[in-house]
């Protein structure tokens, strides 16, 4: 039983040769992300803005959004958004943060429940209620920023210890690139940006780095092996020889993630979508961002003699 090779052996794709095109593409995506972020902004969830979400199910058939909207909208709770959530009889009601302290969000739920009891009687099932007060949402914003920065800092340090500083910088630039463009992706599609998206961002950090490390490991190996090879050629060789792995791993991860998007339900759709995007952009960046940066920074070619000899004596 022999396997099927999705990527033929010995490909010689001049990835590094595409670096100006990829540079243009990356800059375009980064600028677009920044532009979207500052104009359109993110569709922040209640985790970060504070507020209330109420997920209801109408037991008497598909929900009448217009009617529900006018019922809930007339309560004077400020900005209220309603949307179906996975099925026509499931509705997510999102109410903006109420002014005047943590207690007022609670009374907003009571008001909605009372109004819906009048308009729909007992044909409403409350599937989930989330209330995040201003205190907690403020802390979640800080904690999230700290976590993402901490994660990037920690891996910067790890790569620095394991490789040279040039590798570390290249990997982290690729990471920041991935995180920034993922945020742009969320701004473009106006997907709910909540705490589970931060979880996705951190996983993307891990995944993207995983990819970059695999390529860099190979670069390091070839640097020792082919001492005279041109750096561009060496990087191309490294990327090509890990290409099959890069693609296979991306495909298996995408299979798993697609299954989550399609079958996993609305609650984790955002998380799964973010990660799918992250896998794509992470794979792109390890080939087209991290490696060209490594080329631009230049690496020390004479690795310490000890390492080379110990490697050589290893059977």
Partner 1 sequence: MLHFSVWKTTLILLVSMAGALFTLPNLLSDEQAQNLPSFMPSNKLHLGLDLKGGSHLLLQVQIGVIITERMEATKDDIRSSLREKKIGYTGLKVADQSVTLKVRDAIQMEDALIAIKGLSQPVTTSLLQGASVRDIVVTQTSDTAITVALSDEERISRVKSAVLQSIEILRRRIDELGTTEPTIQPQGDDRILVQVPGVEPDALKNIIGKTAKLTFHEVDSRTDPNGIIPGDSFVLPDIENKAQLYVLKKRAILTGENLVDAQAGFSQQTSEAIVSFKFDTAGAKKFGNYTASHVGEPFAIVLDNEVISAPRINEAIRGGSGQISGNFTVEGANELSILLRAGALPAPLDILEERSVGPSLGADSVEAGKIASIVGVVGVVLFILFSYGLFGLFANIALMINLLLIFGVLSLLQATLTLPGIAGIVLTIGMAVDANVLIFERIREEARNGKSPIAAIETGYNRALTTILDANITTFIAAAILFYLGTGPVKGFAVTLSIGIITSVFTAFVVTRLLVSVWIRRKRPKSIPI
Contact set for partner 1, span 26-65 (CB under 8 A): 55, 57
CA atoms within a 13 Å half-sphere pointing along the CA-CB vector of 33: 17
Coil, strand or helix at 133? coil
Task: Give the nearer residue to partner 1 in terms of CB position, either 36 or 299.
Answer: 299
Return the range that interacts with partner 1 (CB under 8 A); candidates 34-42, 62-70, 75-83, 200-208: 200-208
Say which DSSP state 4 is in.
Answer: -
Residue 255 CB, shortest distance to partner 1, in Å, is 4
Residue 169 CB, shortest distance to partner 1, in Å, is 15
Tokens representing 49 are: 């803005």
Binding residue for partner 1 (CB under 8 A) from 245, 297, 303, 308?
Answer: 245
Residue 276 CB, shortest distance to partner 1, in Å, is 11
Task: Give the nearer residue to partner 1 in terms of CB position, either 57 or 69.
Answer: 57
265 lines the binding site for partner 1 (CB under 8 A): yes
Phi/psi of residue 273, nearest 5 degrees: -60, -45
Helices (H) and strands (E) in the chain, counts: 12, 6
Task: Give the nearer residue to partner 1 in terms of CB position, either 36 or 51.
Answer: 51
Decide if 303 contacts 184 (C-beta within 8 A): no
Binding residue for partner 1 (CB under 8 A) from 158, 160, 222, 303?
Answer: 158
Total residues at interface with partner 1 (CB under 8 A): 80
Binding residue for partner 1 (CB under 8 A) from 35, 251, 296, 307?
Answer: 251
95 lines the binding site for partner 1 (CB under 8 A): no
Phi/psi of residue 43, nearest 5 degrees: -85, 75
Residue among 272, 254, 285 at smallest CA distance from 178: 285
Task: Give the nearer residue to partner 1 in terms of CB position, either 23 or 264.
Answer: 264
Decide if 205 contacts 281 (C-beta within 8 A): no
134, β-bridge pairs: none
Cα separation, 200 vs 274, in Å, equals 6
196 lines the binding site for partner 1 (CB under 8 A): yes
Task: Give the nearer residue to partner 1 in terms of CB position, either 64 or 130.
Answer: 130
Binding residue for partner 1 (CB under 8 A) from 22, 272, 283, 285?
Answer: 272
Residue 210, number of CB atoms within 10 A of its CB: 13
1 lines the binding site for partner 1 (CB under 8 A): yes
CA atoms within a 13 Å half-sphere pointing along the CA-CB vector of 132: 19
166 lines the binding site for partner 1 (CB under 8 A): no
Phi/psi of residue 97, nearest 5 degrees: -60, 135
Phi/psi of residue 229, nearest 5 degrees: -65, 145
Residues 121-140 that bind partner 1 (CB under 8 A): 125-133, 135-136
252 lines the binding site for partner 1 (CB under 8 A): yes
Residue 31 CB, shortest distance to partner 1, in Å, is 27
Alpha-carbon separation of residue 96 from 55, 190, 234 (angstroms) = 15, 16, 54
278 lines the binding site for partner 1 (CB under 8 A): no
89 lines the binding site for partner 1 (CB under 8 A): no
Residue 9 CB, shortest distance to partner 1, in Å, is 6
Cα separation, 115 vs 108, in Å, equals 11
């Amino acid at each position: 039983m022999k396997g099927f090779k999705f990527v033929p052996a010995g490909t010689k794709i001049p990835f590094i040769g595409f670096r100006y095109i990829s540079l243009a593409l990356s800059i375009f995506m980064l600028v677009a992300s920044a532009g979207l972020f500052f104009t359109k902004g993110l569709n922040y969830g209640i985790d970060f803005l504070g507020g209330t979400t109420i997920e209801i199910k109408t037991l008497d058939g598909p929900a009448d959004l217009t009617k529900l909207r006018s019922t809930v909208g007339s309560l004077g709770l400020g900005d209220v958004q309603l949307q179906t959530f996975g099925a026509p009889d499931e509705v997510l009601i999102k109410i903006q943060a109420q002014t005047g302290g943590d207690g007022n969000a609670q009374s907003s739920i009571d008001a909605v429940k009372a109004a819906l009891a009048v308009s729909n009687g007992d044909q409403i099932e409350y599937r989930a209620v989330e209330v995040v007060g201003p205190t907690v949402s403020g802390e979640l914003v800080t904690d999230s920023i700290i976590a993402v920065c901490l994660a990037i800092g920690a891996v910067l340090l790890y790569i620095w210890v394991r490789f040279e500083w040039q590798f570390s910088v290249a990997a982290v630039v690729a990471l920041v690139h991935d995180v920034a463009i993922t945020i742009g992706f969320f701004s473009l599609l106006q997907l709910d940006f909540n705490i589970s998206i931060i979880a996705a961002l951190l996983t993307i950090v891990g995944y993207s780095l995983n990819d970059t490390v695999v390529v860099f490991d190979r670069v390091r190996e070839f640097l020792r092996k082919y001492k005279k090879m041109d750096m561009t050629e060496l990087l191309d060789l490294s990327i090509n020889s890990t290409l099959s792995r890069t693609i296979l791993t991306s495909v298996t991860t995408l299979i798993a993630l697609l299954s989550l998007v399609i079958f996993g339900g609305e609650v984790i759709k955002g998380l799964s979508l973010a990660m799918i995007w992250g896998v794509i952009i992470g794979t792109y960046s390890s080939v087209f961002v991290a490696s060209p940066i490594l080329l631009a920074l230049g690496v020390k070619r004479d690795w310490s003699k000890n390492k080379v000899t110990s490697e050589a004596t290893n059977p």
